[in-house]
Amino acid sequence: MWPVYFIFAYLLYSIWRAVDLLVQVEVTGEYEHTPVVTAENTLTLLKEKTGSG
């Protein structure tokens, strides 16, 4: 069963990096390897939108 979890984690990470790339290019016009979309930013946004935390 572990290959399924590994593949899921790999796909989730790849999607996360693709979203980060698209956000960086849209906002700044260039791509840097330092992530803009971080877990902390995402959790803060979710807390603000849902009112939890």
Supply 6's token pair: 């590994």
Q: Residue 38 carries which side chain, given as an amino acid letter?
A: T
2-44 confidence digits (pLDDT tens): 899 999 999 999 998 999 899 999 988 888 888 888 889 888 9
Give the pLDDT confidence score for residue 42 in this predicted structure.
Answer: 84
**32 phi and psi, to 5 degrees?**
-115, 155
Residue 19's Cβ-count burial label (10 Å; 0-12, 13-18, 19+) is: middle
Instruction: Tell me the pTM.
Output: 0.65
Please report the sign of the dihedral spanned by the C-alpha atoms of residue 11, residue 13, residue 16, residue 17: negative
